[in-house]
Amino acid sequence: MINNRALKSVSFIAICMFCFGCKEDPKNDIIEEEVAVVEPQDVYEFGFNLNEYLVKRDTIQKGDSFGEILERNNIGYPHIFQIAEKAKDTFDIRKLQVGKPYTLLCSKDDSLQKPKCFIYQPNKEEYVVINFQDSIHAYTSTKPIKYVEKTATGVIENNISQTLQEKGLSQKLSYKMADDIYAWTIDFRRLQKGDRFKVIYTDKYIDDTIYAGVDEIKAAYFEHNSDTLYAFQFETDSIKGITDYFNEDAKNLRRAFLKAPVQFSRISSRYNLKRRIAHYGYRVKAHRGTDFAAPNGTPIMATANGTVTKSSYTRGNGKYVKIRHNATYETQYLHMSRRKAKVGQFVKQGEIIGYVGSTGSSSGNHVCYRFWKNGKEVDPFKQKLPEAEPISDSLKIEYLEFIKPLKMQLDNIQFDAENLEEILDDNLITQTNN
């Protein structure tokens, strides 16, 4: 039902149109469009709704300190001191590293845009929150991580690194296959053209989108020198979280010790009881270790499972770590720039225990790797090192059942048809020439 006011309005418009005429004017044909007001979606990071703050992101610069960062963002030093005191039990603010990112969540309500929260990221996964918008409290946390299972195949033309690069795959796959899985069964420096592989692995993503690299290889298959080598990852000790790689018959693929405590290094000096050392005026001085040269900061790995018995510093050794593996074997790692392992800590094979440096009596960046057998220092490369522990009889049946679907999955992965044709062509040429 139309009210009187509406009728009068319609009548008035009709009279005006009658009196003044209706001239067509494109300007009068404008159609008003309704504009939808879209509310901004909430964006969460570090557990905060970022829409509620003015967000400032930066990285730690040379000379920066926690206090200087807050002071230049309008926080007074008395308040900075209170924040630092409250946070010190959770995070040492003196350990901010140059180049690492930080985020300030600032107030939108005042003209000074004072920070209410400082968030520091020591690595891609972890972050430290120092929150001082109400009460002061600090805590560490990790970003949500997603693991995505993937498969890959490859046929060797020159080397495995080139094969992976051409396929756009991570070089970490080759590191893991060479060091973690096949270190004792395949020499990756002597792969042959036509050798091929399949892997089932998981990639890691932070916040669903940030690629954080290969996490682990679940199963692998390698054809080398006409041999077929399966490998399956299996947890043998759930309490200590120990995993190993075994073949389809449940035989362990590795030895009890890694060949080297650092990846992609070179031996700069071997175990030599009659070595003349420039550092000591070329006098004969026994060298009871093996030196692996590597850049400063290169991770040093425990070569076998064991318990840390020493993590200390001496004038000759510099910063070093010593590990007892069992009643027979001990290892020691010298001249570290920084130690990570602590006395009493159980470390697994491949776990990072420190970083390469040149502390103590050292003429350059390297790790001196020392090896004890029955309390006597020996050359590890001249020892018949034991194999890693086999699967116990109680676990063997479980293992064989566990690998059935993985083996079927590996067997069903097809090599690229293009690569297969190249192999067949090469084989045909070889047979013809012979």
pLDDT of 247-289, one tens digit each? Answer: 999 999 888 888 889 987 788 888 777 666 666 666 666 778 8
Three-state SS across 71-135?
Answer: HCCCCCHHHHHHHHHHHCCCCCHHHCCCCCEEEEEECCCCCCCCEEEEEECCCCCEEEEEECCCC
Domain boundary (382, 405, 423) is at 382
Q: Report how far apart, in Å, the C-alpha atoms of 415 and of each of 152, 156, 372, 418 are.
A: 9, 12, 45, 9
Counted domains in the chain: 3
Residues 184-221 have pLDDT tens digits of 888 787 888 999 999 999 999 998 888 888 999 999 99
In a domain, 402, yes or no: no
Same domain, 64 and 76: yes
More confident residue, 240 or 305: 305
* Confidence grade of residue 71 (pLDDT, cut at 50, 70, 90): very high
Whether 84 contacts 134, CB under 8 Å: no
pLDDT at 412 over 60: yes
Distance CA 166, CA 154 (A): 10
CATH code of 329's domain: 2.70.70.10
In a domain, 347, yes or no: yes
User: Given this model, what pLDDT does residue 35 score?
Assistant: 61
User: Given this model, what pLDDT does residue 180 score?
Assistant: 82
Cα angle 307-308-309, degrees, rounded to a multiple of 5: 110
Same domain, 275 and 369: yes
pLDDT at 5 over 80: no
Query: 68-95 as b/e, with b when 16 or more CB fall inside 10 Å?
Result: ebbeeeebeeeebeebbebbeeebebee
In a domain, 14, yes or no: no
* Confidence grade of residue 337 (pLDDT, cut at 50, 70, 90): very high
* Confidence grade of residue 18 (pLDDT, cut at 50, 70, 90): very low
Same domain, 292 and 377: yes
User: Given this model, what pLDDT does residue 57 score?
Assistant: 96
Q: What is the mean pLDDT of the chain?
A: 85
Within 8 A by CB and 6+ apart from 205, the residues are 145, 146, 147, 148, 211, 212
In a domain, 193, yes or no: yes
More confident residue, 334 or 11: 334
Distance CA 265, CA 364 (A): 14
Whether 119 contacts 127, CB under 8 Å: yes
User: Given this model, what pLDDT does residue 7 score?
Assistant: 44
| Structure tokens that stand for 111 in this block | 């003209």
Distance CA 371, CA 356 (A): 18
What's the farthest any 2 CA atoms get from each other in the chain?
A: 120
* Confidence grade of residue 34 (pLDDT, cut at 50, 70, 90): low
Map tokens 């090469």 to a residue: 426
> Average pLDDT in the 375-389 region?
85
User: Given this model, what pLDDT does residue 361 score?
Assistant: 86
In a domain, 128, yes or no: yes
User: Given this model, what pLDDT does residue 118 score?
Assistant: 97
User: Given this model, what pLDDT does residue 96 score?
Assistant: 92
User: Given this model, what pLDDT does residue 73 score?
Assistant: 93
Domain boundary (193, 215, 246) is at 246
Residues 346-372 have pLDDT tens digits of 998 889 999 999 999 888 999 999 999
* Confidence grade of residue 43 (pLDDT, cut at 50, 70, 90): confident
Q: Tell me the pTM.
A: 0.65
Residues 74-104 have pLDDT tens digits of 999 999 999 999 898 888 888 899 999 999 9
User: Given this model, what pLDDT does residue 430 score?
Assistant: 46
Range of the domain at 149: 145-246
Name which of 151-155, 238-242, 276-280, 319-323 the model is least confident about. 276-280
Same domain, 294 and 360: yes
User: Given this model, what pLDDT does residue 268 score?
Assistant: 82
Same domain, 153 and 112: no
User: Given this model, what pLDDT does residue 282 score?
Assistant: 67
Same domain, 168 and 71: no
Within 8 A by CB and 6+ apart from 61, the residues are 98
Name which of 118-132, 172-186, 204-218, 278-292 the model is least confident about. 278-292
CATH code of 78's domain: 3.10.450.350
User: Given this model, what pLDDT does residue 16 score?
Assistant: 44
Same domain, 345 and 375: yes
Query: pLDDT > 90: what percent of the chain?
Result: 52
